[in-house]
Amino acid sequence: MGGWSSRRLSSTRYGARRLTGISAAEHLERQARLRAAAADRGLREVVAFSRGGGTHDRAADVLWLAGLAVAQPFVPDLAGHWRGAGHVAVVVPVDGPSTAIVEAEELQTAPAVDDVVVSSDVIAAAGETIAAGLGAARARIGELGSDAVPAAWWMALEELIRARSTAAALEPADELALQLRRRKSPAEQALLRAAGELGSRAMTAALDAAVPGGSEAQVAAALFETVVAEGGAIYDVVVSSGTSAGTLGPSGGAAGAARWTTRTLQTGELLRIDAYGSVGGYLFDFARSIVVGGAPSDEQADLLDALRAAVAAGIERLRPGTPLSDVAAACERVLAASPHARRHGVPAHTMSGFWGHGLGLGWEPPWIGLHSPDPVEAGTCLALERRAAVAGLGGAQYEDNVLVGRDGPELLTTAG
């Protein structure tokens, strides 16, 4: 690696603007909970990495800890240049101040940390910051967002740390953050409600655009336009139609990397939309299916009704203390008893037997399946879903997002 530079600034350098809807005090409280969880595991420090740019895939950990995300997209390490471009890190010692490491000072939001280091090499600066808090004794450092760090950078980070403290060891600790993020605070719940409302408006616009003679691409564009125009962020939308409506979306070929095609929609065929976007980083993720340009046939209606009813049965069971396995079992029973299942059999699972997952700053635990050991918890946000493919008919999908309150489920996605 060539020469690099860094400088330390007080976090007050950025003022006190909070654009995410989460207060600085809440971020600091999250760091305190992380310190306690890390200490219980025997960790000396925790370093969280997140990746920015136009994707939500790797933004969650640092955004949750410090309200920090960057616009710079990921850039591969080119012969030692821009190592860590598009990445940010937050180092949280169990018994010391928190530090954010960023590439540039041009941040719109004040990170909720004690110090900020601006560096042309995020990996080197993270290594120096971690090592500065270590002594000669053996020290375990947990890493959040470990899948956001390329293998070459992980090895470089280990070398930097061990050069200063030969007894130090870096280890993945992603489950710590996932557990801490599971129950949503009132501020997070407000953002999830806003995301559900925006997603519902966008889905309605997409469904309205699904007309004979239109295209899958125009359906996707209507959803994008609504989310972006209202200040939300698009994660992605996948659209499939006709005999391919049972697939998630196109894979390569003429579509390239797009999740839709320019295929012309035909009257009477099935169309499915699975969309994900966010407000303040908090996601909506839900799906709807319709028949283009008219009333469904009996077979199509049976399929649509079966998926909708099965998901609704699971939502009704989302009450604190109910085993998640019971939620999945309720979904299975309703689907198996449907006219569609009696005619065609129960459709094969497309999610390895699961009926859904947690939702927040990303796709999170818990997973909802017949063998899920966890109970439903108040304060969690869950997405229940099922997609099915039927030979000769196409396919369909139905998915909803739900906040679990003390008294039961609160539906967030109301489109269609």
Q: Whose structure tokens read 């601006």?
A: 118
* Residue 349 pLDDT: 86
Report helix angle 186-208 to 216-229, nearest 10: 140
238 contacts 260 by C-beta, under 8 angstroms: yes
pLDDT at 11 over 50: no
Mean pLDDT over 94-105 rounds to 90
Task: Give the number of other CB atoms < 10 A from CB of residue 200.
Answer: 21
Bridge partner list, 408: 405
Q: Is 320 helix (H, G, I), strand (E, B) or coil?
A: coil
382 contacts 356 by C-beta, under 8 angstroms: yes
* Residue 379 pLDDT: 98
142 contacts 176 by C-beta, under 8 angstroms: yes
Q: Which residues 6+ apart lie within 8 Å of 265 measured at CB? A: 210, 211, 212, 213, 214, 215, 216, 219, 241, 271, 292, 293
Mean pLDDT over 183-206 rounds to 98
398 contacts 390 by C-beta, under 8 angstroms: no
* Residue 229 pLDDT: 97
Report residue 302: phi and psi, to 5°.
-60, -40
The per-residue pLDDT for range 207-220, each reduced to its tens digit, is 999 999 999 999 99
Closest C-alpha to 271, from 298, 313, 303, 312: 303
What is the set of domains in the chain, with CATH numbers? 6-180 (3.40.350.10), 186-411 (3.90.230.10)
* Residue 91 pLDDT: 97
Going edge to edge, which strands form the sheet with 6-10?
6-10, 115-119, 99-102, 87-93, 45-51, 139-144, 168-172
Residues in the chain: 416
* Residue 20 pLDDT: 59
Closest C-alpha to 280, from 232, 212, 329: 232
Split at pLDDT 50, 70, 90, the class of 351 is confident
pLDDT at 12 over 60: no
62 contacts 145 by C-beta, under 8 angstroms: yes
Mean pLDDT over 370-394 rounds to 95
pLDDT at 223 over 90: yes
Split at pLDDT 50, 70, 90, the class of 46 is very high
pLDDT at 27 over 70: yes
pLDDT at 7 over 70: no
361 contacts 181 by C-beta, under 8 angstroms: yes
Split at pLDDT 50, 70, 90, the class of 187 is very high
The per-residue pLDDT for range 281-330, each reduced to its tens digit, is 999 999 999 999 989 999 999 999 999 999 999 999 999 999 999 999 99
Split at pLDDT 50, 70, 90, the class of 13 is very low
* Residue 79 pLDDT: 67
Average pLDDT, the chain: 91
Pick 149 or 255 by higher pLDDT: 149
* Residue 124 pLDDT: 92
The per-residue pLDDT for range 58-87, each reduced to its tens digit, is 889 999 999 998 888 888 877 667 788 889
pLDDT at 15 over 60: no
Bridge partner list, 397: 387
Split at pLDDT 50, 70, 90, the class of 18 is very low
* Residue 346 pLDDT: 94
Task: Tell me the Cα Rg of the chain.
Answer: 23
